[in-house]
Amino acid sequence: MRARTRSVLLGAAGLVVTVVAGRWGLGLFTTAEFVHFSVNYPTLPGLELRSMSEIGGPWARDPKLTRPPPGGLLAFGDEGEVVVDLSRRGWLKSLIQPGTLLLSSHWIRNVGTRSRRIALDMDLCGLDLEWVTFERCWDARTQESTRVLEPGDTYNMDWVVRLPPERRRQDVVCAGRLTVLDAEDRSALAVLPITILGTGGA
Amino acid sequence: MRAHLLRRVVALLVGIGLFYAPLALLPRLLVLATGSPLIADTHRICLRMPFEWALQPWMYRTMVEQPGYLIAPLLLPVLALVTGPLLCGWLCPAGALTELLGRLVPDRLKLSVGGRLDPTPVRLGVLAGMMLSPWLGGYVCCTFCNFTMMQNLVSAAFGDLTGLVAWSSFGIVTFVVWFFALGLLVEGGRGWCNLLCPAGAVIGLASALGARVGLAPRIRIDHEACVGCGTCTTRCPAWAISTEPEVNPAACNLCRDCLFLCPEGAIRQVRTRRTGRAPDRGRRPVDEQARVSGAARQLAEPPQSAPGRPEWRSQLPTPGTAGRPILALPRCGLGE
């Protein structure tokens, strides 16, 4: 009985520590250091979309969503925009790598009814960017996918953003945006606002 | 023991080749088989996300569309049911790296946990926490991933520093805890595996079930021969041997270190159905004094260097069928 009680307590401790660590991790994951977000396209008016149940994935969890938003913080965050707050970064990150920020989307998803080849345009107010991807079908020169994405297919891209000290101290480092384009005619399919808030001199 | 260690090092290198880019043979095979447009690295066989998705039905379709996500929750437990935790003990590079490097760290700098803490409930609690975390406002699978950290280190060793360019606070915590706090600085070097690995928890349960029904091999201690020195308890990398001593099959990773460490040759690997608790006759609980001195003796005098000890290799029996020992050392009372 004593051994069983001890086991239950140990298991409960493992569970609680994991959940607490997960809450801490999520706070940084979505808002400050390693910001993952979703991108849906097309979302601009006049284009035919799949139903929410057909789209599936994380978006199907939210009954309030009647049509896919352009994207947003992936893990239970607000949909429709991405806001990065540098003042919420952990002290370890601030100490070791204050000048880098990772933006990441592994869910650039075709929610339309047509197959498309896409191009990406990341406007982050002139900040130095490095594009990194798991995709084999990516033309880094033209910033275009070299494969056709069927309805429901996802694409992924990470951006390592370099933040100079003087920019980090501003209230708003950048009010930028990610635009998903049709690679064939360069027409915009979705625009996702991305705002980076600085430390404001703190 | 040296030959055994050499095999472990070779297994580590094989594991790196199997799971991690640039070679990533298993992800490459998966990419080839499924026609995936993604590059082959360890992320194609994620050992964490599928467990978190288990309670998120809207992610099931993603798992079916990208079959790499089914490997951890389905294929690995089925394999473990038959083969035991071979992935954990032999092929997982993230565990083997810290274990093998930890052997270079002086013992006086390490925390000894074996025999003092049963890791299985903690690991199961962590698994449950990972599955519940999204419902409680948390996210664990990608934020605390030592597998990704290992990929970053392997890539860096091959000249690709991309993975080390942008660290996060939780990434730094993961590295410090996995590599140092629960790695090099604890006895066995596998604290992360023993306490925090969700894949290890599932594989451990499947292995224990497989051992119970006689499918998977398991480690058995011959209590007639055991003198209770405590060497196995102290040195087991998986913290799977209690002070009685008994082997916890849900924690054991089948690395077989104990077979080579036991000075009495009282430990062997068997593949036989478990018929209940071993009789107490002849059981010698580990004496704390003997445990310390036994461990110290092992450090000073590895078994293979003891004068007059017969070369165990020459006495290995033919690999047995069910119910017979697969590997027996001298003085086990078997094969003599």
| CATH of segment(s) B218-327 | 3.30.70.20
Q: What is the mean pLDDT of chain B?
A: 83
Chain B CB contacts of A23 below 8 Å: 133, 136-138
Q: Is A125 on the interface with B (CB under 8 A)?
A: no
To test the contact with chain B by mutation, choose from A10, A20, A23 the residue with the greatest count of B C-beta atoms within 10 A, namely A10
Q: Give tens-digit pLDDT for B224-245.
A: 999 999 999 999 999 999 998 9
* A36 neighbors A105 (Cβ within 8 angstroms): yes
Describe the strand order of the beta sheet including B267-270 as a list of residue ranges.
B218-221, B267-270, B325-327
Which residues from B are below 8 Å from A when comparing CB atoms?
37-39, 41, 43, 56, 58-59, 61-62, 117-118, 120-126, 128-130, 132-134, 136-140, 142-144, 162, 165-173, 195
Q: Which residue of A has its CA nearest to B176?
A: A92
Question: In this structure, what token pair is assigned to residue B200?
Answer: 């290890």
- Is the pLDDT confidence value at B281 over 60? no
d(CA A175, CA A46): 26
To test the contact with chain A by mutation, choose from B139, B140, B164, B242 the residue with the greatest count of A C-beta atoms within 10 A, namely B139
Question: In this structure, what token pair is assigned to residue B44?
Answer: 């194609």
**What integer is the mean pLDDT of B97-121?**
94
* A97 neighbors A148 (Cβ within 8 angstroms): no
What SS3 class is residue A141?
A: coil
Q: Which residue of A has its CA nearest to B139?
A: A22
Q: Which residue of B has its CA nearest to A36?
A: B142
d(CA A100, CA A196): 12
Q: Considering only A13-17, B102-106, B284-288, which range has the smallest mean pLDDT? A: B284-288
Give the closest residue to A18 by CA, choosing from B262, B6, B174, B295: B174
Per-residue confidence band for B283, with pLDDT thresholds at 50, 70 and 90: low
Q: Give tens-digit pLDDT for A117-137.
A: 999 999 999 999 999 999 999
Q: Considering only B21-30, B59-68, B175-184, which range has the smallest mean pLDDT? A: B59-68
Ranges of each domain in chain A: 2-197
Q: How close B56 gets to chain A, by Cα (Å)?
A: 9
The Cα-based distances of B96 to A195, B147, B259 in angstroms read 42, 12, 18
Give the closest residue to B120 by CA, choosing from B276, B275, B238: B238
Minimal Cβ distance to A160: which of B61, B166, B168? B166
- Is the pLDDT confidence value at B275 over 70? no
Q: Report the length, in residues, of chain B.
A: 336
Q: Give tens-digit pLDDT for A159-181.
A: 999 999 999 999 999 999 999 99
- Is the pLDDT confidence value at B72 over 80? yes
Per-residue confidence band for A74, with pLDDT thresholds at 50, 70 and 90: low
The dihedral region occupied by A155, where left means phi > 0, alpha psi between -120 and 50, and beta the remainder, is beta
**What integer is the mean pLDDT of B220-224?**
94
Chain B CB contacts of A10 below 8 Å: 117-118, 121-122, 125
* Structure-model confidence comparison of residues A152 and B78, the more confident one: B78
Residue A145 phi, psi (nearest 5): -70, 140
Where is A101: in which H helix or E strand?
A: strand A100-110
Per-residue confidence band for B288, with pLDDT thresholds at 50, 70 and 90: low
| Sign, Cα dihedral of A110, A113, A116, A118 | negative
Per-residue confidence band for A47, with pLDDT thresholds at 50, 70 and 90: confident
Highest averaged pLDDT of the listed ranges B55-59, B135-139, B263-267: B263-267
Q: Report the length, in residues, of chain A.
A: 202
- pLDDT cut 70: percent of chain A above it: 91
Q: Where are the beta strands (DSSP E) in chain B?
A: 218-221, 267-270, 325-327
Q: How close A192 gets to chain B, by Cα (Å)?
A: 23
* B195 neighbors A21 (Cβ within 8 angstroms): no
- Is the pLDDT confidence value at B328 over 80? no
Q: SS in 3 state form for B208-239?
A: HHHHHCCCCCEEEECCCCCCCCCHHHHHCCCC
Q: Give tens-digit pLDDT for B292-308.
A: 444 444 544 444 434 43
Chain B CB contacts of A135 below 8 Å: 37-39
Q: Give tens-digit pLDDT for A3-42.
A: 889 999 999 999 999 999 999 998 888 788 888 888 999 9
Where is A160: in which H helix or E strand?
A: strand A154-162
d(CA B244, CA B228): 8
Q: What is the reported pLDDT for A34?
A: 86
The Cα-based distances of A21 to A59, A99, A122, B144 in angstroms read 25, 24, 32, 9
Q: What is the mean pLDDT of chain A?
A: 88
Q: How many CB atoms lie within 10 A of CB A9?
A: 13
Q: What is the reported pLDDT for A77?
A: 55
Q: Give tens-digit pLDDT for B167-204.
A: 899 999 999 999 999 999 999 999 999 999 999 999 99
- pLDDT cut 90: percent of chain A above it: 64
| Sign, Cα dihedral of B302, B308, B310, B313 | positive
Asked if B125's CB is within 8 angstroms of A34's CB, the reply is no
* A166 neighbors A176 (Cβ within 8 angstroms): no
Ranges of each domain in chain B: 47-205, 218-327
* A32 neighbors B139 (Cβ within 8 angstroms): no
**What integer is the mean pLDDT of B96-120?**
94
d(CA B36, CA B242): 45
DSSP label at residue B316: P
**What integer is the mean pLDDT of B62-84?**
89
Asked if B37's CB is within 8 angstroms of A137's CB, the reply is yes
Q: What is the reported pLDDT for A62?
A: 66
Question: In this structure, what token pair is assigned to residue B114?
Answer: 């074996």
Q: Is A172 on the interface with B (CB under 8 A)?
A: no
Q: SS in 3 state form for B260-310?
A: HHCCCCCEEEECCCCCCCCCCCCCCCCCHHHHHHHHHHHHHCCHHHCCCCC
Ordered DSSP codes for A45-112: TT--B--HHHH-GGGGG-TT-SS--SEEETTT--BS-EEEEGGG--HHHHHH-TTEEEEEEEEEEE-B
Residue A144 phi, psi (nearest 5): -125, 145
d(CA A102, CA A87): 15
Chain A CB contacts of B43 below 8 Å: 134
pTM: 0.83
Q: Is A11 on the interface with B (CB under 8 A)?
A: yes
**What integer is the mean pLDDT of B62-72?**
85
Burial class (CB in 10 A: 0-12, 13-18, 19+), B280: exposed
The Cα-based distances of B311 to A53, B83, B191, B222, B308 in angstroms read 66, 28, 33, 20, 9
Q: What is the reported pLDDT for B75?
A: 92
Asked if B168's CB is within 8 angstroms of A23's CB, the reply is no
Question: In this structure, what token pair is assigned to residue B122?
Answer: 């903690």
Chain A CB contacts of B39 below 8 Å: 134-136
Asked if B125's CB is within 8 angstroms of A15's CB, the reply is yes
Amino acid at position A147, single letter: R
Q: Give tens-digit pLDDT for B44-54.
A: 889 999 999 99
The separation between the first and the last C-alpha atoms of chain B, rounded to the nearest angstrom, is 21
The interface residues of chain A toward chain B in range 90-119, judged by CB-CB distance below 8 A, are 90-93, 96-97, 100-102
Give the closest residue to A3 by CA, choosing from B289, B221, B246: B246
Q: What is the ipTM of this complex?
A: 0.85
